[in-house]
Chains A and B, each alone.
Chain A
Amino acid sequence: MIRVEHITKKFRKLLALNDINVQFEKGQVISLIGPNGSGKTTLIKSILGMVKPNSGKIFFNDELINGDPSYRSQIGYMPQIGRYPDNMKVGQLFKMLRNIRNVPEDKIDEELIEKFDLKKIFDKPMRTLSGGTRQKVSAALAFLFDPDVLILDEPTAGLDPLSSEILKEKILKEKSKDKLILITSHILSDLDELTTHIMYMQEGKLEFFKVIEQLREETGELKLGKAIARIMKGEKFNNEWIDRIFDIKDEKNSSFRRE
């Protein structure tokens, strides 16, 4: 459904994306993971056409993304940091986007608006919202038009546990509708139950793209985090990042045990 061919992006001297080749299909839930600054968001923004790559091609449904924005009507995007016009009220924001997209009533999916109870804050200006509430608005907007492709950039960051569960349930529900879902997150345990494919990036390079069962088989680990750690060690990547996560976790566990 989305095909990325030889994408390279430089920000001045920094090589943000280094010859990325990958193909995503319907029904897949892809976890895009990697350390901060590994190019995850840049890749997502390239797919959305917000960042223009220096070279390479991106195809959406076999059509080259090149100026024509109509393909974006099939994508729901939830940004890492949702930034919205300050003066606009929450209700107006939803109304405006519906007005601009002109989607028929039966294609509108307001489930998240209801579950997050956003109607209650419809007359609040966007600038007064807290970070978490903003995330909720972003999520509700991404799912609003029932798109075939969902791109979620750190969806659960900043959400309280309850809302995070609601969002995960919603993602699972959409997964069952045979959609393509692309998630980046640092909270690997969140991804465990959702994901079908793992894409690991580091310093702008795609290190591997694997089906999760294969990853589990190869490593003999059930938990995603541990499986990835195994792979990293086995293939001798720069595994400092993943090591550190487990160091911290182990410390926590042992300190709990001591108590």
Chain B
Amino acid sequence: MLKLSKYVLYDIVRSKVVLAYTAFLFLVSLSLFNMEENSSKAMLSLLNIILIVVPLISMIFTTIHYYNSYEFIELMLSQPMSRRKILLSEYGGVALSLLSSFFIGVGIPVLLYSPDSVGFSLLFTGVCLTLVFTSLAFLTSVKARDKARGIGFALLLWFYFALIYDGLILLILFNFSDYPLEKATLILSALNPIDLGRISIMLKMDVSALMGYTGALYKDFFGSGSGMLFTAGIMLLWIIVPLWWALRVFKKKDL
């Protein structure tokens, strides 16, 4: 399996897209830390960029890579190689390259300028989001027959998680504002990995004081040890479930 991942990685590195992604993240992080005198302000801006860019790039890159390596997958299938192994090594290769981009592009600047608990949870969120959206992209590309549909579906999912979902939550909060919704919003946030990541970092920052009663409740929950476990557990589910589903579809697929 490692052998296969090695070839996947080799192919990805040669395409240079990952290198551009790394450079982009690195430049953004460095310039934010240098522009803002207060490093926590820089972290906030960086957080917002990461929450938008990391899922988008992970999804699009993974989808395109999957369709481009269709020939490779076909070739491997005529070899004594199980489908599970093939898909997992593809996943391993893509995830590893995206993660190393993230570590170099964001990890190094954060460790240099703001090596505190906020910084670490930012890195944790970035890593989780990369893995989650790579999983989701594998699921959509295994399900969709052609490239155009696959990319379209991936973009739609990204829109949903990054933009539409927040709108829906606002709508719910607005319409049911007469009811106690603190617990409900807690559950709703778990249904979107981007939101979950945002909340878990925000509460480590001072800005959480501005969020009123809900913020206090969140801080109570997410600040505690069990809350951290909850975040990590939900993220893990978001990584494993789509990948497992993709594997199931892939095993039954005609190639």
Contact = CB atoms under 8 A, between A and B. Distances in A.
B77 interface: yes
B71 A73 contact: no
A14 interface: no
Nearest to B8: A85
A83 B79 contact: no
A72 B80 contact: yes
Contacts of A79: 74, 78
B93 to A, nearest CB: 13
A97 B3 CA distance: 11
Interface string A54-97: 00000000000001111111010101000111111000000011
Interface residues of A, number: 28
Contacts of A71: 80
B87 to A, nearest CB: 13
Interface in A100-150: 100-101
Interface stretch (A27-35, A44-52, A159-167, A236-244): A44-52
Interface in A225-253: none
B77 A50 contact: yes
B71 A84 contact: yes
Of A49, A69, A70, A79, chain B has the most CB atoms within 10 Å of the CB of: A69
A69 B71 contact: no
B79 A101 contact: yes
Contact of A51 (B4, B14, B80, B254): B254
Given A84-B71, A86-B71, A70 B15 contact: no
A72 B77 CA distance: 9
A99 interface: yes
B85 to A, nearest CB: 8
A48 B78 contact: yes
Contact of B80 (A45, A69, A84, A87): A69
Interface of A: 11, 45, 48-52, 67-73, 75, 77, 79, 83-88, 96-97, 99-101
Given A70-B80, A85-B71, 8 more contacts: A69-B80, A83-B70, A87-B11, A87-B14, A88-B11, A100-B81, A101-B79, A101-B80
